[in-house]
Amino acid sequence: MMGKLQNLETLDLKGTNVWKLPSTLFKLQQLRHLIAYKVELETYSRDFYGFDGGVGIRRLVNLQELLYIDVDVYVRQGGRVVRELGELIQLRRLGVLGLRKEYGVELCSSIEKMKNLFFLDVTSSEGEVLDLQSLSSPPMLLQRLELSGNLEKFPNWISSLLNLKKLKLARCGLSDDPLGVLQALPTLVELTLCQTYDGEELCFKRGGFLTLEVLYFDRLERLKLVRVEEGAMPHLEELDIMACKMLEKVPLGIECLANLKFLHFAYMPKEFAMALNPTKLGGDISPDQKPLGWFTRMIIASSAARGVLKEADAREESKDWVNQVRDIVYDIEDTLDEFNLRLQQHQCHGFLGFLYKTIKLVKHLKPRHHLATQIQSIKSRVHDVYERRQRYEFNFHDQGSSSNALRDTWHDHRGDALHIKEDELVGIDKPWEKLIEWLVGGESRLEVISVYGMPGLGKTSLVKKVYDHQRVIQHFQHHVWINVSQSFKTKELIKDMIKQLYGEIKEPVPQGVATMDEDSLKTTVNVFLQQRGLYGHVYNLEALASEDSWTLFCKKAFGENSCRPELLGFSKNILKRCGGLPLAIVAICSFLSTKEKTMIEWEIVHRTLGSLLESNDKLENMKEILSLSYNDLPSYLKPCLLYLGFFPEDYLIEPSRLIKLWTAEGFVSEKGGLTIEEVAESHLHELINRSLIQVAETNWEGRVKWCRVHDFIREIILSKLRDQNCGVIITKQHTKLPQKVRWLSIHNSVDNVPENKIFSHLRSLFIFGVDTIPKSYVHSFFSSIRLLRVLDLRDAPLEKLPNEIVNLFYLRYLSLRRTKIKKLPKMIGKLQNLETLDLKGTSVRELPSKLFKIQQLRHLIAYKVEYSFYGFDGQVRIRRLVNLQELLYIDVDVYQGGRVVRGWES
Q: What average pLDDT does this structure show over 817-843?
A: 92
Task: Report the pLDDT value the prediction gives residue 409, as an integer from 0 to 100.
Answer: 39
Of 699, 651, 664, 706, residue with least CA distance to 684 = 706
Pairing state between β 225-228 and 238-242: unpaired
Number of other CB atoms surrounding residue 323 within 10 Å: 16
- The DSSP output letter for 465 is H
pLDDT over 60 (residue 185): yes
Task: Report the pLDDT value the prediction gives residue 649, as an integer from 0 to 100.
Answer: 87
Pairing state between β 535-540 and 447-452: parallel
Least trusted range by pLDDT, from 309-318, 576-585, 596-605: 309-318
Contacts for 197 with CB less than 8 Å, ≥ 6 apart:
172, 174, 177, 178, 220, 222, 223
Q: What are phi and psi of 138, to 5 degrees?
A: -65, 155
Q: What is the pLDDT of the chain when averaged over all its residues? A: 79
Task: Report the pLDDT value the prediction gives residue 168, as an integer from 0 to 100.
Answer: 94
Task: Report the pLDDT value the prediction gives residue 386, as an integer from 0 to 100.
Answer: 64
Pairing state between β 694-698 and 704-708: antiparallel
Q: Is the pTM of this model over 0.85?
A: no
Least trusted range by pLDDT, from 163-167, 259-263, 607-611: 607-611
Task: Report the pLDDT value the prediction gives residue 689, as an integer from 0 to 100.
Answer: 83
Contacts for 753 with CB less than 8 Å, ≥ 6 apart:
730, 746
Is residue 295 a contact partner of residue 337, using CB atoms and an 8 Å limit? no
Helix (H) or strand (E) holding 85: helix 78-85
Task: Report the pLDDT value the prediction gives residue 842, as an integer from 0 to 100.
Answer: 92
Of 812, 806, 799, residue with least CA distance to 782 = 806
Task: Report the pLDDT value the prediction gives residue 565, as an integer from 0 to 100.
Answer: 80
Strands (E) in 564-625, as ranges, are none
**pLDDT grade for 653, boundaries at 50, 70 and 90:** very high
| 3-class SS of residue 389 | helix
Q: What's the rounded Cα separation, in Å, for the pair 490 and 496?
A: 10
Per the DSSP assignment, residues forming a β-bridge with 10 are 33
Task: Report the pLDDT value the prediction gives residue 523, as an integer from 0 to 100.
Answer: 81
- How many H-runs (helices) and E-runs (strands) does the chain carry? 26, 30
Task: Report the pLDDT value the prediction gives residue 63, as an integer from 0 to 100.
Answer: 92
Instruction: Give whole-number Cα distances, 820 to 335, 829, 840, 877, in Å.
Output: 36, 21, 11, 26
Number of other CB atoms surrounding residue 844 within 10 Å: 23
- Spell 625-652 as b/e; 16+ CB within 10 A means b: bbbbbbeebeeebbbbbbbbbbbeeebe
Pairing state between β 813-815 and 790-792: parallel
Task: Report the pLDDT value the prediction gives residue 615, as an integer from 0 to 100.
Answer: 57
pLDDT over 60 (residue 589): yes
Angle at 611 between CA 606 and CA 615, to 5 degrees: 120
Q: What's the rounded Cα separation, in Å, for the pair 846 and 489?
A: 57
pLDDT over 50 (residue 329): yes
Longest CA span, the chain: 103
Q: What's the rounded Cα separation, in Å, for the pair 215 and 72?
A: 32
Q: What's the rounded Cα separation, in Å, for the pair 154 and 120?
A: 17
**pLDDT grade for 363, boundaries at 50, 70 and 90:** very low
Higher pLDDT, 311 or 784: 784
pLDDT digits (tens, 9 = 90+) for 875-896: 657 888 888 999 988 887 755 5
Q: SS in 3 state form for 157-208?
A: HHHHCCCCCEEEEECCCECCCCHHHHCCCCCCCEEEEECCECCCEEEECCCC
pLDDT digits (tens, 9 = 90+) for 490-529: 788 788 878 877 876 778 888 888 888 877 888 888 777 7
Q: What's the rounded Cα separation, in Å, for the pair 457 and 427?
A: 11
pLDDT over 50 (residue 288): no
Q: What average pLDDT does this structure show over 647-659?
A: 93
pLDDT digits (tens, 9 = 90+) for 334-356: 887 887 777 666 554 444 455 55
Q: What's the rounded Cα separation, in Å, for the pair 46 and 39?
A: 7
Is residue 858 a contact partner of residue 885, using CB atoms and an 8 Å limit? yes
Q: What's the rounded Cα separation, in Å, for the pair 557 and 426?
A: 14
Task: Report the pLDDT value the prediction gives residue 903, as an integer from 0 to 100.
Answer: 52
Per the DSSP assignment, residues forming a β-bridge with 886 are 859
- The DSSP output letter for 52 is E
Task: Report the pLDDT value the prediction gives residue 147, as an integer from 0 to 100.
Answer: 93
Task: Report the pLDDT value the prediction gives residue 743, as an integer from 0 to 100.
Answer: 93
Is residue 180 a contact partner of residue 202, using CB atoms and an 8 Å limit? no
Task: Report the pLDDT value the prediction gives residue 640, as an integer from 0 to 100.
Answer: 94
Task: Report the pLDDT value the prediction gives residue 93, as an integer from 0 to 100.
Answer: 93
**pLDDT grade for 587, boundaries at 50, 70 and 90:** confident
Of 385, 382, 303, 310, residue with least CA distance to 336 = 303
Task: Report the pLDDT value the prediction gives residue 47, as an integer from 0 to 100.
Answer: 64
Task: Report the pLDDT value the prediction gives residue 456, as an integer from 0 to 100.
Answer: 78
